[in-house]
Structure 1
Amino acid sequence: MLTVHHLNNSRSQRVLWMLEELGIPYELKRYERDRNTMLAPPELRAVHPLGKSPVITDGAQTIAESGAILEYLVDRYGEGRFSPPHGASPERVRFNYWMHYAEGSAMPPLLLKLVALRIGSAKMPFFVKPIGRRIAQTMQTSFIDPQLKLHFGYIESELAKSEWFAGDTFSAADVQMSFPLEAGSQRAGAKSLPHVRAFLERIHARPAYQRALERGGRYDLAG
């Protein structure tokens, strides 16, 4: 039985979604973040040395990293669905690009934004607070926010060309891109962009997405 080691409010939600789209049975093992640090619990290190989620086990295989997991699931269980055929077609090139872009380019400025927000609101001695907040604000205005504007402007223009990232057909690339767009809608105002907003509405309306929410539990980024 395939097992998903699922951390609440994390990237592993899109793994559940992919499994629901594929319609294959799986076991769900839940883990909760530490309420103070928001980090994954140490128990996950027994599954994978980095102790992070998502991780799946499928027989003797243990696979981490969202993109690698989604590609594995589609290649093994997709039966030709949810990805263009392997090769050099324009659709496959776009598919590969968005599968890597999601974590390689879109997520770093969003993570920096989260760090800056936490620095700005962190508890610290009163004489350090102004310095910490100034550093966080400078990070945001000089680098993070311009990068987010650049990336989400680019994503918006690409979604204006087609409803789905790899072309006219829904694919695992859309599942992979869901997390940065959901995070961007909360941290970077990306939901104000009409094509991004329409994409989020489309994916949130999918029955498989709804089933994944029911299995995975609370997922704040879906709001």
Structure 2
Amino acid sequence: MAPQITLYFLQASRCIRTAWQLHELNLDYELKFSPRVGGLAPPDFKKEAGGGLGKFPAIVDNGVTITESGNIAEYLCDTYDTAHRLLPPLGDPKRYAVLQWVHAAEATFALHGIAVLYARWHQKSGSVEETEAGLSKNVLNDLDFLTVELDKSPGKFLFGDELTVADIQVHFSVAFVLARQLGLQGRRFERLERYLRDCEGTESYKAAVEKTGHEM
């Protein structure tokens, strides 16, 4: 029987989050993969994936297209994670603590990092270095906050030694910021580097990378 879920995966993107979660939940899926062309998603691939803006990841489950990595993460948990391993059930206060990180992964960590990247790419006049130095304040505050929260955790992940959807979402944003040196101002974040290694050491993450060919 063909897999019910199809994942549209654009290389070098947030799509690894969804693939990782699918493997963590032991869900079979059909992979539709595309490299970037000139740094962008090919128009035909965007059209095939659907979802209006043509952004990735996108999944199709039983004929329904779902986009936005955080939205997909919550959907997969609510639909398939019947044991609530990755996200507690509705009404459990811990659910909203986990979802705080799911949303912060994009609305805070990625947002502040990408602001630096866009300054490097698109600023037409003035000092890019001065702009980046100003933007870096948010990035450094984010990373310092995450370091403190990880140090509070009783285990190697945000909520202990058991992976949650919070880790699946936050991992990519932090890995992207560190890999691209976005606003780091020469600082090292050894605790966060260890956190990334712990995430990437999970069998589900390694399986997702192997199947998708994900590269940062």
Query: Is 2:165 the counterpart of 1:172?
Result: yes
| Alignment equivalent of 1:62, drawn from 40, 65, 85 | 65
| Structure ID, larger Rg | 1
One-letter code of the match for 1:203?
Answer: C
Q: How many residues align?
A: 205
Superposed structure 1 runs of 4+ greater than 4 Å apart: none
Measured in 1, the distance between the counterparts of 2:20 and 2:96 equals 23
Residue 87 (structure 1) aligns with: 91
As a proportion of its length, which structure holds more helix? 1
Residue 40 (structure 2) aligns with: 39
Residue 209 (structure 2) aligns with: 213
Measured in 2, the distance between the counterparts of 1:210 and 1:64 equals 23
Alignment CA distance shift 1:86-1:166 (3 Å): farther
Query: Is 2:132 the counterpart of 1:140?
Result: yes
Residue 193 (structure 1) aligns with: 189
Measured in 2, the distance between the counterparts of 1:19 and 1:11 equals 14
Q: Is contact 1:34–1:41 with CA below 8 Å preserved after alignment? A: yes
Deviation at 1:88, TM superposition (A): 4.2
Q: Look up the SS of the partner of 1:192 in the other structure.
A: coil
Q: Is contact 2:16–2:214 with CA below 8 Å preserved after alignment? A: no
Measured in 1, the distance between the counterparts of 2:22 and 2:196 equals 19
TM-score, length of structure 1 as denominator length: 0.85
Measured in 1, the distance between the counterparts of 2:88 and 2:127 equals 45
C-alpha RMSD of the superposition: 1.9
Measured in 2, the distance between the counterparts of 1:155 and 1:172 equals 16
Q: Look up the SS of the partner of 2:127 in the other structure.
A: helix
One-letter code of the match for 1:194?
Answer: E
Measured in 1, the distance between the counterparts of 2:187 and 2:164 equals 21
Measured in 1, the distance between the counterparts of 2:163 and 2:56 equals 25
Q: Is contact 2:6–2:32 with CA below 8 Å preserved after alignment? A: yes
Residue 108 (structure 1) aligns with: 111
Q: Is contact 1:3–1:27 with CA below 8 Å preserved after alignment? A: yes
Percent identity at matched positions?
A: 30
One-letter code of the match for 1:184?
Answer: V
1:99-132 deviation line (CA, Å, top 9, x unaligned): 1111111111111111122347xxxxxxxxxx63
Residue 21 (structure 2) aligns with: 18
Alignment CA distance shift 1:206-1:191 (3 Å): farther
Measured in 1, the distance between the counterparts of 2:53 and 2:169 equals 21
Deviation at 1:192, TM superposition (A): 2.5
Residue 174 (structure 2) aligns with: 181
TM-score, length of structure 2 as denominator length: 0.88
Moved more, 18-27 or 46-55: 46-55
1:78-101 deviation line (CA, Å, top 9, x unaligned): 122211222142x22210111111
Moved more, 5-14 or 156-165: 156-165
Deviation at 1:2, TM superposition (A): 0.4
| Alignment equivalent of 1:150, drawn from 138, 141, 145 | 141
Unaligned runs of 5+ in 2: none
Q: Is contact 1:92–1:166 with CA below 8 Å preserved after alignment? A: no
